[in-house]
Amino acid sequence: MKYAIILGDGMADEPLEELQGKTPMEYASTPVMDELASMSELGLLHTIPDGMKPGSDTANLSVLGYDPAIYYSGRSPLEALSIGVPMKDTDIALRANIVTLSDDDVPYEEKTILDHSSGEISTEDAAVLVEAVKKELQNEMFQYYVGTSYRHLLIWDKGEVVDLVQPHDILGQVIGDKLPQNPMLREMMKRSHEILNHHPLNEARRAAGLNPANSLWFWGAGTTPKLSSFQEKTQKKGAMISAVDLLKGIAVGAQMTNISVEGANGTLETNYEGKAEAAVKALLEDGFDFVYLHLEAPDEMGHQGSIERKIKSIENLDQRILKIVKTKMDASGEDYRLLVLPDHPTPICVRTHTSTPVPYILYDSTAPRRENWKYNEREARQTGVYMAEGHKMIDHLFER
Ligand SMILES: [Zn+2]
């Protein structure tokens, strides 16, 4: 038996007036998902333990079978694993987004945060800017590391797990009372703006009508993660296919294999087909029992508040990933079990993550069911099937 999880990050949502009361999943044209749903177990999964912050970190740990209440030690330590940054036990890792602050002529504290991703800046451009900050601000206590696109890393020697504000939660707001309480972190953010605001690369971005990447924003502080081996835990040889450092880091921590796909970049224009083909190859040719395929795009579109682009990302998941995986697995004659789900909702109306349970499909090629439901939040709720502890779903997937 082969196993696959295909996860649309942030895909779930709430009913929208603009969609006549439907959600993007309900409104999107998804013939493959709906066909699968009619042959599968359909239900709701509670991925975010009560009291924990909804995010891709806690949610994907859950879906992969790691109880966040035990294994979660912050977001950016997982990203540090992906970048290959060795963390000492006394180190604190912090996510360093490169963000866009308003250009109005006011003190730093009175600036408005406009964009948590600097227009999904390319890794090349961001690296130039992060290096410029590193040159000025790096010292014994604080080390800067370039990550992917707008997601970078700061390692704080003998630091503290301070509570910091997530930039995608405060878009359009004045930053003053959202800045770190810790004076060193606060001062470094302010200094990063002085270094970046009129950097030639940002002047060129402004001239090209792009959002300048003119300040670092620290959040997601955490300590060294201690994940146990996935293969020892499940007796399954697992592979990860994702463009984002968080998921790659979870895979490193779980000693799974990261499969990188050319052109997979976490945006709406990612290489869908390449990811689907890589998943099938991993299962049918490369000896993996299990593959975890993560698609970032729906989450980013949720943060951007774009209904149209979120629907497009869901339709792309259906037509340019699921269709390929199902067709090729069916043609291979291999028995397989397939779990399709989001990790958490990123509703357009709030442009950030929520803890609402997510709809899932569990398909078994050896025992297709006959149902007449489609794949969306409303119909999943109507089945009455509900799993309260998200980290137990992987055992359910592997039970046959
Ligand atoms: Zn997510």
Work out the pLDDT band at 144, boundaries 50, 70, 90: very high
Q: Is the pLDDT of residue 367 over 90?
A: yes
Work out the pLDDT band at 225, boundaries 50, 70, 90: confident
pTM for the complete prediction? 0.87
- Residue 6 contacts residue 241 (beta carbons within 8 Å): no
The three-state secondary structure class of 116 is coil
Residues with CB under 5 A from ligand 1 (ion): 9-10, 56, 299, 343
167-179 pLDDT tens trace: 988 999 999 999 9
Closest-CA residue to 222 (of 254, 243, 257, 246): 246
Work out the pLDDT band at 83, boundaries 50, 70, 90: confident
Q: How far is the CA of 297 from the centre of ligand 1 (A)?
A: 10
Q: How far is the CA of 248 from the centre of ligand 1 (A)?
A: 14
Q: Is the pLDDT of residue 377 over 90?
A: yes
Please tell me the predicted confidence (pLDDT) of residue 93.
96
Q: How far is the CA of 345 from the centre of ligand 1 (A)?
A: 8
Average pLDDT, stretch 226-250? 95
Q: Is the pLDDT of residue 129 over 90?
A: yes
- Residue 91 contacts residue 224 (beta carbons within 8 Å): yes
* Sign for the pseudo-dihedral over CA of 63, 320, 78, 113: negative
Q: Is the pLDDT of residue 82 over 90?
A: no
Closest-CA residue to 59 (of 244, 285, 275): 244
Work out the pLDDT band at 380, boundaries 50, 70, 90: very high
CA distance 55 to 47: 10
Local structure of residue 400 (DSSP, 8 states):
-
Structure tokens at 323: 């269709």
Structure tokens at 91: 């180190």
Please tell me the predicted confidence (pLDDT) of residue 224.
86
CA distance 110 to 388: 43
Average pLDDT, stretch 122-150? 96
Q: How far is the CA of 172 from the centre of ligand 1 (A)?
A: 21
The three-state secondary structure class of 94 is strand
Average pLDDT, stretch 280-286? 98
Please tell me the predicted confidence (pLDDT) of residue 188.
98
Q: Is the pLDDT of residue 221 over 90?
A: yes
Q: How far is the CA of 296 from the centre of ligand 1 (A)?
A: 7
Please tell me the predicted confidence (pLDDT) of residue 248.
95
Percent of the chain with pLDDT over 90: 93
- The overall average pLDDT reported for the chain is 96
Structure tokens at 268: 């709406």
Q: How far is the CA of 209 from the centre of ligand 1 (A)?
A: 29
Cα angle 139, 155, 147 (rounded to 5 degrees) comes to 110
Q: Is the pLDDT of residue 38 over 90?
A: yes
Average pLDDT, stretch 209-218? 97
Work out the pLDDT band at 285, boundaries 50, 70, 90: very high
Q: How far is the CA of 27 from the centre of ligand 1 (A)?
A: 21
CA distance 280 to 329: 7
Please tell me the predicted confidence (pLDDT) of residue 191.
98
Q: Is the pLDDT of residue 287 over 90?
A: yes
Please tell me the predicted confidence (pLDDT) of residue 283.
98
Closest-CA residue to 11 (of 260, 302, 277): 302
Please tell me the predicted confidence (pLDDT) of residue 111.
98
- Residue 298 contacts residue 342 (beta carbons within 8 Å): yes
Residue located via tokens 């294999």: 257
308-354 pLDDT tens trace: 999 999 999 999 999 999 999 999 999 999 999 999 999 999 999 99
The three-state secondary structure class of 294 is strand
Residues 6 or more apart whose CB falls under 8 angstroms from that of 27 comprise: 16, 19, 311
CA distance 303 to 112: 17
CA distance 145 to 133: 11
- Residue 36 contacts residue 29 (beta carbons within 8 Å): no
CA distance 375 to 339: 12
